Amino acid sequence: MLLFSGYLTIDSEPVNTMCRLRIPNLEVKEIYTSMILDWFETSIKMGRYRDLLRYLTVGDVENFSIIFQNFLIASASVFDMPTDPSEKVYHALVLGMLIGLQDTHEVRSNRESGLGRYDVMGIPKDPKQLAIILEFKKTASSDTPSLESIAQEALRQIEEKGYPRELIDRGIKRILCLGLSFKVSKCSYAQSFAEAVHCLAY
């Protein structure tokens, strides 16, 4: 419906009835931005939403995770999430949440860097500021591995695949690598800072 009404446009040749879509112009992008921000303000009080983004962009993952956990619980009802949502659902949810960083960061998703494709990257417009790499792992409620071990697995993927490479090539030295694991409305995380070529866990 969005495609045929002009709110999205085709950006690639269809393959087996599937194709890439894009927002056609700045005016429509502003409409989407306003709608998405309204949705997130419904889930989190505006002040807490700003705090969540601020904590993330300064690397205060402990406080970020507290608000983010509450956000996931609220989102389960506000966004009518399924009882066992896929990793893509969490990916889309976090990507939408990060739209609030558009003034300070370029937010990218599923792009190549190093030896693979990262889930989400926040590239600071000021190279002296903190860059962010997020990798998601979702587990079914019946799975035995702990959320913490799965978050560590997501973090190892960032490091082993060399996802910070694109940022390092841009001269950005402060990079937060964050592995996030999800189970329904629960979330765990593992983190590290990337300095130059190395990811140092702490």
Q: The domain spanning residue 164 has which CATH number? A: 3.40.1350
Asked, for residue 68, whether it belongs to a domain, the answer is no
147 lies in some domain:
yes
Let me know if residue 66 belongs to a domain. no
User: Could you give the dihedral angle defined by the CA atoms of residues 159, 154, 201 and 92, in that order, rounded to the nearest 10 degrees?
Assistant: 100
Query: Pairing between strand 21-22 and 9-10?
Result: antiparallel
Going across the sheet that includes 186-195, the strands are: 105-109, 120-124, 131-138, 175-183, 186-195, 198-201
Domain of residue 196 covers: 84-201
What pTM was estimated for this model as a whole? 0.70
Q: Are 82 and 90 in contact (CB under 8 A)?
A: no
β-strands 131-138, 175-183 pairing: parallel
Residue 158 lies in a domain: yes
Q: Tell me which residue has tokens 């990262």.
A: 118
Among residues 104, 199, 184, 102, the alpha carbon closest in space to that of 154 is found at: 199
**Per-residue pLDDT reduced to its tens digit, 125-177:** 999 999 999 998 877 656 567 778 888 888 889 989 999 989 999 999 899 99
Domain-embedded: residue 38: no
C-alpha distances in Å from residue 33, one per residue of 5, 56, 98, 178, 183: 18, 20, 11, 25, 28
The reported pLDDT for the residue numbered 21 is 56
Counted domains in the chain: 1
Calpha distance 156→141 (Å, rounded)? 22
For residue 34, is it within any domain? no
Mean pLDDT of all residues in 54-70 = 87
Identity of the highest mean pLDDT range in 69-83, 105-119, 163-177, 179-193 = 163-177
Does a structural domain hold residue 26? no
Residue 90 is assigned to a structural domain of this protein: yes
- Find tokens 């896929």 and name the residue: 86
Average pLDDT over residues 61-68: 85
